[in-house]
Amino acid sequence: MAPRILAPLKLASSDLPIDPVGTLLRHGPLPFIQRTINEETYLAAVDKYMLREGCSVLEAQANMDFYLRDPNTWASDKVREKKGGKIRDYARLDQKQVLLTCLWAGFVIALFSRIYMVQTGMIEVGIDDALKLW
């Protein structure tokens, strides 16, 4: 029997179960930016992974998002899985991590807003103001 060759599915953005915000919350800014800037390449990578592994769109997308986030860890996880190790669920949204990410993002935005306001002269900060913080 001849090997069965599957044709690429040619996924569209609307076919993906995880939206860009979901990618941002699960795996951070790097996969989000890659997905936004190189959408066709991203869709082709998800499609290729789906065909190669014979998995669902959700699993393929979550794997590609994590791969874009940290290729070395993703590769070592896959080697561990092939040796019978624990299979990682990249699609699961960890609510604790989302909360910590939002708090960290709020802190960073507040810090850079303050720096911008001082640099543009919107607020004045002297040495006395800096010492009042301590």
- Kindly report, residue by residue over 34-84, the tens digit of the pLDDT: 999 999 999 999 999 999 999 999 999 999 999 999 999 999 999 999 999
Residue 1 lies in a domain: no
Please report the pLDDT score of residue 98 as a whole number. Answer: 85
**Phi, psi (rounded to 5 degrees) for 117:** -65, -35
Q: Are 47 and 8 in contact (CB under 8 A)?
A: yes
Q: Are 14 and 55 in contact (CB under 8 A)?
A: no
Report whether pLDDT(87) > 60.
yes
Please report the pLDDT score of residue 2 as a whole number. Answer: 44
Q: Are 74 and 66 in contact (CB under 8 A)?
A: yes
Q: Residue 37 belongs to what domain range?
A: 13-132
- Number of independent structural domains in the chain: 1
Query: For residues 132 and 28, which has the higher predicted lDDT (pLDDT)?
Result: 28
Residue 3 lies in a domain: no
- Report the candidate in 97, 109, 75, 76 with the shortest Cα–Cα distance to residue 27: 97
Neighbour-count burial of 131, counting CB atoms closer than 10 A to its CB (0-12 exposed, 13-18 middle, 19+ buried): exposed
Calculate helix-pair angle for 29-37, 57-69, nearest 10 degrees. Answer: 110
Residue 90 lies in a domain: yes
Residue 8 lies in a domain: no
Please report the pLDDT score of residue 26 as a whole number. Answer: 87
Residue 6 lies in a domain: no
Residue 2 lies in a domain: no
Of 31-45, 51-65, 92-106, 115-129, the range with the lowest mean pLDDT is 115-129
Tokens at residue 47, please? Answer: 């499609």
Residue 47 lies in a domain: yes
